[in-house]
Amino acid sequence: MNEHKKVNIWYDEAGDYLDVTWGTSHAYYATTVDERVMVLVDMEGNVQGFKIDGISAIKDIPLNVDLQPLKSDTKTA
């Protein structure tokens, strides 16, 4: 059975970023291999959203990013 999730989408024109979240507020942003994309990760390592900076500059080609935080950004117990 597919689990339905509420997705929150926010475009900040002044800050020129798009923020998409679907999870808990107990999470942190971590960097990805693309410097424009931050991934929102909860304390168990589950992706709970993402943020794209400079969204207005992405026009002609698709943005393909693995929503995997870089190893240096992962929290350890």
**Tens digits of per-residue pLDDT, 6-43?**
999 999 999 999 999 998 778 999 999 999 999 999 98
> 76 or 13, which is more confident?
13
* Per-residue pLDDT band at 71 (split at 50, 70, 90): confident
Domain boundaries, the chain: 1-58
pTM higher than 0.85: no
Q: Are 75 and 46 in contact (CB under 8 A)?
A: no
Question: pLDDT at residue 77 above 60?
Answer: no
Query: DSSP E strands: which ranges in the chain?
Result: 8-12, 17-21, 27-31, 37-42, 47-53
Cα separation, 14 vs 68, in Å, equals 27
Report how far apart, in Å, the C-alpha atoms of 32 and of each of 5, 14, 36, 70, 72 are.
23, 23, 8, 5, 10
